[in-house]
Each structure stands twice: as structure tokens, then as C-alpha cells.
Amino acid sequence: MARVKRGLMRHKRHKKVIAKASGYWGRKKNVFSRAHEQVMKSGQYAFRDRRAKKRDFRRLWIARISAGCSENSIKYSELIHGLTTQGIEVNRKMLSELAIHDPATFAKVVESARAGL
């Protein structure tokens, strides 16, 4: 049986990991064992933070809507309750954009929510 030398495949695998680790600090960018550890950990962070980003943006939108609500003298919870009872389906992202960029339209939305209270 022929002898199998693993140099070529090992070199390809190492090269792929080192390429992913380019830009890291210190030995993490050019020593395979350190680079492999960091690439694996970075993948875990990326997986976790793709989900955390959704939570962070929702918190931001709610903070912006709440600021718009305080300008129109209504509570955030009252606004959301009024919109759901009126059957108005506007997501929080769009409500926050209205509160920032078009306060007049946001005030009209608030008035329609007040009618549902």
C-alpha cells in the first residue's frame, strides 16, 4: 500500500485558518494553533451576537418611540395598547423612524392610538 503524506492538505487547512485570522493581534494571526483557537472563539461570538443584535435594535427602537411619546404626552405602553385595539399594525422600527424623521405623522399616529384607549 502506498504511503500517504499529508503535507499538501495540512498546508491548505492551515492556510485557510490563517487567512480567517488575518487582522488579529499578536501570534493569533500567524501561529496555527493560536489562530485556530481564536477563529473558533470568534465564530462563537458571531453566532451569539447575531441574536443579540436583534435585541439591541429592539431596545433602541423602543427608546426612540418612548422619547416621541413623551413629546406627545402619552406613555409608550398606552401607545402600543391603543394601536393594537385600533388594529393598526405598525412595527416598532417604523414607529421609531416616524418619531425621529417625521414628528407630525407620529403625532397623528398617537392621536389615532388615543382614540383606541
Helices (H), 1-117: 7-20, 32-71, 76-86, 92-101, 103-115
pLDDT at 79 (0 to 100): 96
- Rounded to two decimals, the pTM is 0.78
Alpha carbon distance 40, 48 (integer Å): 13
Cα 112 to Cα 95: distance, rounded to the nearest angstrom: 13
Other beta carbons within 10 angstroms of residue 71's beta carbon come to 12
Residue 4: its pLDDT value, please?
Answer: 81
> Which domains does the chain possess?
8-115 (1.10.1900.20)
Mean pLDDT (10-residue bins), the chain, 117 residues: 85 96 96 97 97 97 97 95 93 96 96 89
| pLDDT value of position 52 | 98
What was the pLDDT predicted at 46? Answer: 97
pLDDT at site 1: 79
